[in-house]
Structure 1
Amino acid sequence: MVNKQSARYKKFVLGAASAALVAAAVAPVVSAKEFNDVKADHTHKPAIDALSDAGVISGYQDGTFKPGKTLTRSDVVKLMGKWLVSEGYKIPADYKTNMRFTDLTAKSNDELLQYAAVVKDNGVFNGNNGRLMAADNITRENMAVVLVRAFDKLHNMDLVAYVEAQDFDKDVIDRAKAKEEARPAIDVLDFFDITNPAAPAFNPKNTTTRGQFATFLHKTINTDFSAVTAPEGNKDKVAVEAAAKQVKDGAVTVSRGEYATDANKLAAVQTYVKGLVKEEGVTTKATAGKTAGEYVVTLTKGEEKVEKTIAVTFEFAADDRFVTEVNALNATQVEVKFSVAVDKNDIAGKVSIQGVQFTSQSLSEDGKVLTLTASAPINVSNATVVVEAVKTKADTKVKTDKYVSTITYKDVVAPTITSVEAKTSGSLATRLTVKASEPLKTGTGLVKVNGAYVSADFAGTDTATISGLSLETGKTHTIELINIEDLAGNKTVSTSANFTVNVDATVPAVTLTAKGEKEILITFSKSMDVKSVKDALVSGTVKDEALNAVKTGSVTEVEGSNDTQFLIPVTATTIFADKASRTYTVVLTDTIKDKLGNKLTATTQKVTLSKDTVKPAATGYKVIKDNNGKVTAIEVNFSEGLRAAGKGKTVAPTIVDENGVAVTNFLGGLTADAVTAGDQKVVYTAKTPATVSGKFAFSFAKELVSDQAETANKSDAFNYTIDFGKAETATTFELTSAEATENVITVTFPEAVKGGAVANSATDLANYTLAGKPLPTGTEITLDTAQKVATITLPVESIEKTDQAVVFTAANIQSTSGKSLKTYTGTVAVEDNVAPVLESAKVLNDTTIELTYSENVVLTDGQDNVFEVGDDFVITNGTVALDLKAGELKAKKVSGFENKLTISIEKAGETATALDLTKAIKVKTIKPATANVEDIQGNTQKVGVEVNVAK
């Protein structure tokens, strides 16, 4: 075993290359060895002094070194890049056109782009999932990786392979806390005592300070690596075997478009595997294994090859919102599965199956499974299934894709028992609940418990509760169902199950939340005795801020909550007269109990109700036809209950046909039916029902309906294009690509498409999405004269973050010949075009003001980190704008705060103009001849912003 404490250091002369390296990272302004914040006993003083003596590092103008200041990832990229360039590595010619990291653009800092290309191309700095994350601080584990990679690259050695071959005492005790990739690099620093043997905790997740970096760099430069040689044996074999170790099981995100087909999954696995392998020159290929979810990865370099099998699970991308499958569960139930959680308030009437009438529906707790119940047994062949777009739970402004398919189903499976539950708070259970695999016909079948016949009725459902029992705890009991029949007529002669009694003596817990502006939702941890809850929560148990009784209505159970949730309606007419919210106290007594008799601990809880300011929004429409196929009415659904309106009081929509011609007498005229308070729909009845074909654009006026809020909110204007014809089997056309440059998306169609204010227009914003959302307000779309190229210009201040691969979709567009566009999904690059905004300012002294921005900012034109910004700001003192000459207003970044800078009034050779702190001070941004204040993407600060300066 190697003794690490043997002498390993050999003092090398600091060359020009090393000087360039350190100066880039730790040399802000002036050189000085005796820094006033680096005392004699400071841990990093030896390294700081040595590097200062060599003229490598310097400090700040105030005489400090700031050893505790953290380094960012961009600092390290520039550092390593300059070092490699000084050693003869070239800056790639395409550094500004080929982004090495997805969060950089051509407008990023030019120096950062150059060195980002150098370090990425040479494997020194690989980023995080393709991103540089320039403003983030670098961790100690990442610093170790970068240092070891850099020295390997520069000196053509493999420090990791060398150290792995050594048997030595490891000092680092928290190596396991580091990510797997970093552990070998930490071993290198440990083996060569570049880490501190006296402080065995490496703290891999901590950030790296200037002082720590100086010590690590000083030790690394002065370490004797002469014993390091290339690993013995075939280097290709070593690389392939090392790569195989890097390939491991994992989860893979499957992108939108092909909806997780085998080819789509395989491509995603290939990308995943490629990202795992860090060995240079090793190629990877993934193929499907014999078992579902397993993939065989072949790793190759030269003549060497290794195969490894891994297990992969699949997830949907965050912006994928679609139906994954529709299945019939039994004779009367259908299940619709979504890739994301959907809004439970937007599921009504969204699913239709040809020849099937649904009577009810319920959504799972996770919001991803919708179960529908039909009025009669399902028996269909190639029936059309349509799931309309449904709002997502995470963002009700975003919907799932419309789903169309076919289904063939007939229930031929006989029912069985799926579960039995019996509970007690004592020693005997008096009842049980039995659940069948599907709903059973009313009045069919017999039930035995422990061999004795008992009375039970499933009443057309899959569940029955049996009372009047005496079931002991600690024993096994048996239930048997005899001659039961499901709704499709499938019979089971006998099915049985064993069960035990569960003892539950736990006191129920309770929480209160607001539901809407005038309802209190009470949620219990267990199913409750409904009568005890209603008897306890009578009017007067809710108190206002002064503990006066608040008028409330009858408590009701929440449907589908299994008696765990209840609603208390506040019936007082006016509660928000002069307030935006009210805090109420609810008195909960120990008379409330669960179904087993466990009593609630008496308590009081507060709940805050907030004034409803959300407008009712249209969620969809439904065309109502009679038995002859004639359209009799149009039903428009809304997101919440509406205020009452008399017949004809709700304005009818304006209608335009697919040629853009206004239709003034559609179906003889549409008249709105009366709206009953609480309705979530408006029905327009046709005066002359008729068969309708083709597509029509319906435009509904602003303030069409109002909600039931104390102060009514009125709806915005909205539009629907309704297709009254049968599903077309006509030919379609496809897009092959859509490209974006500087936030202008160019969509090229293979043939002329419709444009203008008509249905299925390529210039209709509603027919596109970006990142799963509607195009930003203010987007302009134009067609060329041939009507084959749509130019989509995104407005200024609409893209908050640069992204090289934003999901872009185009749909619902038709060619001039009547062909329909097959929904297109691809990716485009967008660039941050949101300007940094001056948010606040404060006085530091009578010549200096500190400015705070809405995002990180950079100064783009200056010397020695001092920037002239007289063209960027106007300072008003009292009522007078200061008359500052060129060069008299200068700016600096604020150390440690990327979104702050200071502006100072300076005059060379004379006293600076001083601010009169007794008077009001304002700072206003103005349009400069040359921009000096920008964000990292190159967006100039927003002009015309004026803020008051705090003193």
Structure 2
Amino acid sequence: MTSKQSSKYKKFIVGAATAALVASAVAPVASAKDFKDTKGNTHEPAIDALSDAGVITGYPDGSFLPNKTLTRSDVVKLMGKWLVSEGYKVPTDYKTNMRFKDLKPTSNDELLQYAAVVKENGVFNGSNGNLLAGDNITRENMAVVIVRAFDTVEDIELVKYVKDQDFKKDVTDLAKAKAEARTAIDVLDFFDITNPAAPAFNPKATTTRGQFATFLHKTIKTDFSEVKAPVVDVDQVAVDAAAEQVKAGAVTVARGNYATDANKLAAVQTYVTSLVTEKDVVATVVAGKTAGEYAVTLTKGEAKAEKTIAVTFDFAADDRFVTEVNALNATQVEVKFSTAVDASDIANKVSIQGVKFTSQSLSQDGKTLSLTAEKPVNATKATVVVEPIKTKADAKIKTDKYVSTITYKDEVAPTIASVEAKTSGNVATNLTLKTSEPIKATGLVKVNGTYVTPVFTDSTTISVSGLALEAGKTHTIELVNIEDLAGIKTVSTSANFTVSVDAAAPAATLSAKGEKQILVTFNKSMDVKSVQNAIVSGSVKDEALNTIATGTVTAVEGSNDTQFLIPVTAENVFANKASRTLTVVLTDANKDKLGNKIAATTQNVTLTKDTVKPVATGYKVIKDDAGKVTSVEVDFSEGLAAGTPALPTIVSENGVAVSNLLGGFTTTVKAGDTKVVYTAKTPAVVSGKYALSFAKELVSDQAETANKSDSFNYTIDFGQAETATTFELTSANAVKNVITVTFPEAVKGGAVANSATDLANYSLAGKPLAEGTTITLDSAQKVATITLPAGSVEKTDQAAVFTVANIQSTSGKTLKTYTKTVGVEDNVAPVLLSAKVLDDKSIELTYSENVDLIGSDVGADFTIMEGTTAINLEAKELKASKVSGFPTKIKITIDKAVVGGASTTLDITKDITVETKASAIVVDKETTPNTQKSGVKVTASKQ
């Protein structure tokens, strides 16, 4: 132990609390998992030890990828496994109670388990309630997670303890870390878990899997027995007792109106206060980051003994409230209700200012309405309106109207949500993969390590055919460089799956869909062509079993081919009756996707004449990227007849009639449209409130006997403009190791904080920019040119992860972290490693990498010495040639004649030395070749 270490702490041995894990972690390397890519790696001992302990695992191909950038999901799994090895249990509700908002029951099962473990024990709290599984984790966040974990396991307070110690701090760039992370980095510094020989911690840089293994292994081996536990006085004991009472009793809050967060908080405060019976203990409640979670602070007496605990409450919902509205990703929004709502009454009931929805679907329990937006959601305090919707239990009772605001922009990378492969036999030839959110039709797909051709069926579905997947075995699928609709990219994500066997016959039920459509619902996904070929003219009959004319059967969008619509095209269906009972013949020609046939059957369905008027269900204000209002959309409860609706009358919030708002509007409705779009003649930024009044009989529906709308009014709040505090970088490009970063506005430069010319604000391939990198700004301070120095890129990589962070504009806005990939080229020169004399004229040279020859005359490229005397050779008097079968070798041969016809030869009795010179002939085999490194001198061996 060095004297410096002695000044920090006295012991560095195995701690009792982690003895069981470390006993296995320090087992002989021979018993560790035999990773094929860790031998000789700096982090090999830690990787082997943690592998033996079962804390870390590798990939199916036998690799560990120690240099792969660590993602947040990697950290969750690693820390979760370690906590489980320490005796912590996976919560039984890990699959039904999502600890992070961006996880779903269909997410990777292993990730769900360990996410629940780390969240429950305060090791990993997420970002604004989200896990952000695909994001890279920075070194500063890694430090925070490790310190939290050991606080939990050891029941200590490392930050508090280290703060009181007097020690020499090794980390030189601590000021670059965020405030929360600085104290955690101090802990790692104090216990020498950081590397004292590398004083720069690089808090903003990403972390590799190997680095994390070393940090975790070092921490496990550290003895924390010197860390004193906090003193607990009698008052604190009383507070702890009250805490246990609150935890035990707080399960369900009585029925009430929980439509707003304020109502929920008030109910929780009342409930917790009623539970605390200890004298002088006062409970204060604040909302947590996760829905339903609250922080309860218990304080006792004048001494202010205090304890804060996290408690999760269930709310016994009243009959009819919207509980929350959340944007899940770039294009999907979710509305949750306290009670089930009627699926037939959800159309166009939700509007968000500036967002245009294209579809909606209701969950089976009727409590979650999912909507899909036309383009990525980018909302700042946008008005959310959920119009009253019929409840499932009683159509006469509707939910209350919900009005709130939402601020959201997608910053979560896409992952794999589920993989399904089925067969009716022993081998599946197809699979279907669902992503966690809509993605662009780009990226690569591997199945069991082999690239395959994907079909992007829709924005969240990838299909692969032509496979031979054996049932009962585990298979692996990997997605590479997938990108969501907001441009967030996941470099790599994978999942394991098994093939399921399904030989069951499908079944069908019928129901009416509107006035003249029959909905056929199957209990399995069907082969669309088989259903369309099976349900043809003659399949639908009237009460006298006469054929009723029908149109082409279509699959219902979003039903996963389980629902099909039969349009009744016969005229005057309701000429004499208000309802018709029809018979539908379903033959065994209807097959599911695996070829299983239904049992032939006939079923009845009743269609009812439409006498309901079309009703306006909400409005949307559409804005362009500059914030200008381009149109106002009014949604209706059903499809409309073609026409040109009248324009509304418009009055300002001051009661003044406005005849030319946005230059006036134009509108046209096509048959079947469920909305009227009023398009602005002159788009502009609008603020304030305006009342719009729409005339009676504005639109008609498409019923056999058309129903016309009543008059209605909307007051539209266009909101107020806000000053942006952040800005985004949209692209960065690299050409021949010069990276050009174009900012949307002028940025800081020079030796100031948050400068665009500070190397620390960038990383490439998970590492800081190489020493010698130069960064310059153009005169407008919008374009940063990053020039990588020679010898800094060891291998060509067309998808090197490039990160930009912590930069500010000259106006004070902060750049949101940018992470994308750029192409970089190998710029390391081939180095002469050795030479061997073959005969008295030829020498074989061996280089550090594969080399090529651009020409054969190399007399100017080398100096050959006999002892201390150089052989005088012109360019053409030394020839170079490749050595067949040895790509790293070339042969140089002396070809110099002397007077009298003899030729120059080597005096092999002397030492023969070869020195490289600047060359354009000897190069490596890169797209942009690197010439040999000059000034390298080797002594040739002799045969």
TM normalised by structure 1 equals: 0.42
Length-normalised TM-score, structure 2: 0.42
